[in-house]
Amino acid sequence: MDIRQITEKKKRHLDLLLIADEQESMIDRYLDRGEMFALYDGEEVKSVCVVVRTDNETCELKNIVTDPRHRRKGYAGALLEFTFGHYKDKYKTMLVGTGEIPAIIAYYEKFGFRVSHRVKNFFTDNYGHPIFEDGIQLVDMIYLRKDFG
pLDDT digits (tens, 9 = 90+) for 77-125: 999 999 999 999 999 999 999 999 999 999 999 999 999 999 999 999 9
Transcribe 22-54 into DSSP letters: --HHHHHTTTTTSEEEEEEETTEEEEEEEEEE-
For the cut 80, the answer to whether the pLDDT of residue 30 exceeds it is yes
For the cut 90, the answer to whether the pLDDT of residue 39 exceeds it is yes
DSSP tag of 10: G
For the cut 80, the answer to whether the pLDDT of residue 149 exceeds it is no
What proportion of the chain, given as a percentage, has pLDDT over 70? 100
pLDDT at residue 14, rounded to an integer: 96
For the cut 90, the answer to whether the pLDDT of residue 1 exceeds it is no
Q: How much is the mean pLDDT over the chain?
A: 95
The stretch 20-30 carries a mean pLDDT of 93
138 Cα distance to chain centroid: 16
Q: Which residue, among 95, 93, 94, has the nearest Cα to 141 in the 3D structure?
A: 95
